[in-house]
Amino acid sequence: MRRALIRLVPLLPFIVLALAALVAAYHVRFSW
């Protein structure tokens, strides 16, 4: 678990941006 976190922390900005894109796509698909 800790080793996975160590590998993932430097990628956090891209993970957050990818999640934001997913949420935006979900909102456009179901709320527009």
Partner 1 sequence: MSLTTVAVSAAHPRPSLLTEFVREQAPIILAVLMLGVAASYLQHGFLVGGDRPFPLAGVAVPLWHLLWLGFWTGYTMALVGEATGIFSLPYAMSILRFDNIHVSPTNLVITVINPLGALLGFRRAGQWNLDFALWPCLGALLGSQAGPFIRVKYLSDPVPFKALVGLALFWLGTHLVWEITPRYLRTREAQRRFTEGFRARAREAAAAGRFPSGIPEGARIVTVERSWLRLRIAFLDQQWSMSVPVLFGLGLGVGIVASTLSVSECFLMTPLLVTLFKLPMYVIVAATIPFVMLQSLVGLFSYMVIVPALTGHYDPPEWAFGFFCAGPAVFGAWLAAKTQRFVPESYLKLVAGMVTGLGGLLYLINYFVPLPFRI
* Number of residues engaging partner 1 in binding (CB under 8 A): 19
Under the binding rule (CB under 8 A), the answer on residue 22 touching partner 1 is no
* 20 binds partner 1, rule: CB under 8 A: yes
Q: Is residue 1 close enough to count as binding partner 1 by CB under 8 A?
A: no
The Cα-based distances of 24 to 12, 18, 32 in angstroms read: 18, 10, 11
Torsion angle of C-alpha atoms 14, 15, 21, 23, degrees rounded to 10: -160
Site residues for partner 1 per CB under 8 A: 2-3, 5-6, 9-14, 16-17, 19-20, 23-24, 27-28, 32
